[in-house]
Amino acid sequence: MAEGRAQEQEAIMSTKQPAATINLEVYEDSINFLGVAKVTLPSIIFPTVSISGAGMMGNMDVPLLGMVDAMSATIDFLDANHNGGAVKLAEPRKHQLDMRVATEYWDVEEAEVGSWADKYVMICHPKSFAPGTFTPMSAPGVSNEFAVYYFAGYRDGAQLWEIDKRNMKCVINGVDYMANVRKALGK
């Protein structure tokens, strides 16, 4: 069912091409506004093992199904004190963050523009806090870096992916690639 929904969504969206990010806001626990920021989302990197042997031509890297390397994210604020967002995120504890993004698209068939509501959710812990550099006539450029344990992406309410390292979930386009691994382990 999820596969059919993903194909239907893809057919609907195929004429809509992303144009630009209109704006984004960062929230903690879905309610506490932390500010407008520049966010570098985690990369989803699948670890590989190198195999070789008889019948193969040299070594071959094989991605491990559903496994995901350590993830990190960076959030840059203009100022450490605006809404207290950067300082609050430096607290050495678990943070659940929502990045709400308005993305403009161009419908190539209809020659119209519109917008998608994108949302990214992370559960993370701070790795570093850089209060910035102070120079005349410029913003200090405050930066927070995080170790990310949970990462999910949504477009207009439909889940695109969910990586949950603590619960061994790797869901992409509605398919949980770790389901058989959890089953094999009796979970």
Mean pLDDT by runs of 10 across the 187 residues of the chain is 57 73 90 87 95 87 93 87 78 96 85 88 96 77 93 96 97 96 93
pTM: 0.83
Region for 55 from its dihedrals, namely left if φ exceeds 0, alpha if ψ lies in -120 to 50, beta otherwise: left
Residue keyed to tokens 């990586």: 163
Helix H or strand E segment including 182:
helix 179-184
